[in-house]
Amino acid sequence: MKYLVSYKLKDKRSYKMKNFLSLYGFPVNSGLFECKINKNEFDFFLEELLKIIKSEDTVRIYTICRECNKKTLGTENIVPDKLEKGYLIL
């Protein structure tokens, strides 16, 4: 399943969050990652994410369903191996 993860952290933990999310996906913009996480990984993903954030932080996780993924449009400089079926890169 694909997820869009947005975050705004209050201190230098942003670097730690960026490194953590890079294990699961790629940055779309500052504080925004597209991640691919399977069902078996998701609980572990959330546990690790909760170790990084504090109560004053903002983190949102949006599901990108298969049907929505087929409609994804965007521009991006990506390596060909990251190009997946269903993307239209302008």
Average pLDDT, integer, range 16-41: 93
In a domain, 16, yes or no: yes
In a domain, 89, yes or no: no
Please state the domain count of the chain. 1
In a domain, 12, yes or no: yes
- pLDDT, tens digit, 9 for 90 and up, residues 40-90: 999 999 999 999 999 999 999 999 877 766 666 665 555 455 555 555 444
Residue 71, pLDDT score: 63
Partners of 8 in the β-ladder: 58
Provide the CATH number for the domain around residue 32: 3.30.70.240
- Strand spans (E) along 1-54: 2-8, 25-29, 32-36
Single pTM value for the model? 0.74
Provide the residue range defining the domain that includes 43.
Answer: 2-65
Residue 89, pLDDT score: 46
Are 32 and 22 within 8 A, CB to CB? no
Residue 12, pLDDT score: 84
